[in-house]
Amino acid sequence: MTAVELVQHNLDILRSKLDGSEPIAAMQGNALDLSMLQDDSFDLTMLLGPMYHLYTLEDKLQALSEAVRVTRPADIY
């Protein structure tokens, strides 16, 4: 699991709750630019905060585009 958080304070709170045994990578970043993550890296991508914190349609579409980019396409059988 990878958590990307824009605000350093929130990232610090998340990290303070981890004891090191969790398979969680927590990093500071912006949902509009996930360039630090490779294409097709994740089976599932969730945008829990960005969609209601972003105000313009352009920013919302950019965040969705980045989420799609880093998410592996579903296999169709």
Question: What is the pLDDT confidence band of residue 62, given thresholds at 50, 70 and 90?
Answer: very high
Position 76 in a domain: no
Task: Quote the domain boundaries for residue 10.
Answer: 2-70
Residue 58 has pLDDT above 70, yes or no: yes
- Pair 57, 25: CB distance under 8 Å: no
Position 77 in a domain: no
The two three-digit tokens of residue 5, written as one number: 């958080």
Residue 77 has pLDDT above 70, yes or no: no
pTM value is 0.86
Amino acid identity for residue 55 in this structure: Y
- For all residues of the chain together, what is the average pLDDT? 94
The two three-digit tokens of residue 55, written as one number: 């105000």
The two three-digit tokens of residue 67, written as one number: 């989420």
∠ CA 42-43-46 to the nearest 5 degrees?
A: 80
Measured over all CA atoms, what is the biggest interatomic distance in the chain, rounded to whole angstroms?
A: 44
Position 20 in a domain: yes
In the chain, the number of structural domains is: 1
- Report, in angstroms and rounded to the nearest whole number, the Rg of the chain calculated over CA atoms: 13
Residue 76 has pLDDT above 70, yes or no: no
Position 41 in a domain: yes
